[in-house]
Amino acid sequence: MTNFSELNISESTLRSVKRMGFEEATPIQEGTITFAMEGRDVLGQAQTGTGKTAAFGIPLIEKIDPKNPNIQALVIAPTRELAIQVSEELYKIGYDKRVKLLSVYGGQEIGRQIRALKNRPQIIVGTPGRIIDHINRRTLKLEGVQTLVLDEADEMLNMGFIDDINAILENVPAERQTLLFSATMPPAIRKIAETFMRDPEIVKIKAKELTMENIEQFFVKAQEREKFDVLTRLLDVQKPELAIIFGRTKRRVDELSQALTLRGYLAEGIHGDLSQAKRISVLRQFKENKIDILIATDVAARGLDISGVSHVYNFDIPQDPESYVHRIGRTGRAGKSGIAVTFVTPREMGYLRIVEETTKKRMTPLRPPSTEEALAGQQEVSMQTLVELVQNNDLGSYRDMAAQLLENNEAIDLVAAALKSMTKEPDATPVTITEERPLPMRRERSQGGGGGRGRGGDRGRSGGGDRGRGGRDRRDRGGDRGRSGGGDRRRNERNDRDRRPRRRDEK
């Protein structure tokens, strides 16, 4: 692999990259940076987890003139979560260059964004709906844009943003550099490339580079009614540092979150029905290790770069193989190893083989741990905790209390009692996890503009009206356009737009 120091990057950007812990460029980074630094348009095809943000972020930062107060770069992302994530990454890359950056997305008070725009940011990262809103309000002036980035272009296509993308592209100068990234290349994406890009260089990551060899992949065969108890036993035995559990629907996420909390785990859930403030709060707690387990729908499968995730559990097998790749890509990042466990009911075994064909890697069958093994795992955690307390030697007045106890009790009994009090024994507390009938499986994503049916979003059985256009719930993808009870998509974009009766396409 190529070292970043070999890619003709300035000293300031190189310092930032090294501070972020990067030394060697991934294939998508090496290819994109090489062409982009030459001023070429780039069409990149790569899955999440391959380092795309740095791939376009480094040449983008390199091109920014800190003395020019105009908006010089525009990055369009499909979801507010991804927009926030990209903003954070670009801020780190441009830190030594003192680049000014602003993210604009729905769910945040637009007046606040308008005031921030008056501070003359040089880079804008935003979601399509909010960018269009600012364009129409004339609060976002894009005539100085030199670099345009479309991130997760296929996802924006699937979420119905094709018209917004075309409108935005018509508002930026024709003489610009365009960097487009997409996991797949359906006809509509190719059309955008043909229409708005100039002889782009194609950087495509081969399938074998997407299998993430540093992730151990397992499957557990279990009946639907058995899955939750098996999950808790796995958590007790595997003792993940940070874990993400993926469920198919919002109701599933809520039930898993409540059930795990009831059994003593530090767990929180995120999905599209939560307020933006709540979702950001949960993600912050997870990143800061204040909660150990994040339960999510596929809203978290794309774009969120959360370091330190050691385990991914697919409580529900995703609805297409590509979603599986996105999900397990949350672990095994930055050269670290990770574990992915997928729960499969007997009737889903055939589809498991389709997923394996896509990833080109066989999953290893994993025997569900017994209750006794789960208890042993918890006892080991208690013992390690007790040893650490002793080694830290911060026992203070507890030593005097221990001396009193030793006058009338055996030392071994006292230690055993301490271990027992610290051990979270396997719990049989009744929980409510609604059984879900598996949805029809597909071999591949639809290549059209509607996104296809059966993807792993919050479709189906949570509140009646959650089926969005193309069989998916827009709200749960965290994007700009939401549906509520099957209403008109343009009228009810409440997740990413401010409500103004005068506008038909924004709220």
> Residue 448 — pLDDT band, cuts 50, 70, 90?
very low
Tell me the helix, strand and coil percentages in the chain, rounded to 5: 40, 15, 45
Report if residue 489 sits inside a domain.
no
Report if residue 37 sits inside a domain.
yes
Exposure of 375 in the CB half-sphere (CA atoms within 13 A): 9
Residue after which a domain boundary falls, among 209, 234, 266 = 209
Regarding whether 340 and 405 lie in a shared domain, the answer is no
Q: Would you say 328 and 340 are in contact if contact means Cβ atoms under 8 Å apart?
A: yes
Q: How many other CB atoms are there within 10 angstroms of residue 452's CB atom?
A: 18
Q: How many other CB atoms are there within 10 angstroms of residue 72's CB atom?
A: 22
Regarding whether 290 and 259 lie in a shared domain, the answer is yes
pLDDT digits (tens, 9 = 90+) for 327-370: 888 888 766 789 999 999 988 888 888 888 777 788 999 988 87
Q: Would you say 197 and 343 are in contact if contact means Cβ atoms under 8 Å apart?
A: no
pLDDT for 454 beyond 60: no
Q: Which range of residues forms the domain containing residue 406?
A: 371-422
pLDDT for 408 beyond 90: no
The number of helix segments (H) and strand segments (E) in the chain equals 17, 14
Stated pTM of the model: 0.56
User: Which of 123-137, 277-291, 400-414, 454-468 is predicted with the least confidence, judged by mean pLDDT?
Assistant: 454-468
Count: domains in the chain? 3
Q: How many other CB atoms are there within 10 angstroms of residue 278's CB atom?
A: 12
Among 356, 302, 320, 297, residue whose Cα is nearest residue 47: 302
Report if residue 281 sits inside a domain.
yes
Residue after which a domain boundary falls, among 296, 330, 365 = 365
DSSP 427-493: ----------PPPPP-SS---SSS--S--SSS-SSSSS----GGGS-TGGGTBS---STT--TTT--
> Residue 506 — pLDDT band, cuts 50, 70, 90?
very low
| Cα angle 130, 449, 327; round to 5 | 75
Q: How many other CB atoms are there within 10 angstroms of residue 405's CB atom?
A: 14
Q: Would you say 279 and 81 are in contact if contact means Cβ atoms under 8 Å apart?
A: yes
Among 100, 90, 161, 102, residue whose Cα is nearest residue 132: 161
pLDDT digits (tens, 9 = 90+) for 48-73: 667 788 999 999 999 999 999 999 99
Which token pair is 209? 């580079």
Report if residue 418 sits inside a domain.
yes
54: domain CATH number is 3.40.50.300
Regarding whether 34 and 73 lie in a shared domain, the answer is yes
Report if residue 72 sits inside a domain.
yes
Report if residue 493 sits inside a domain.
no
In this prediction, residue 302 carries a pLDDT of: 58
pLDDT for 78 beyond 50: yes
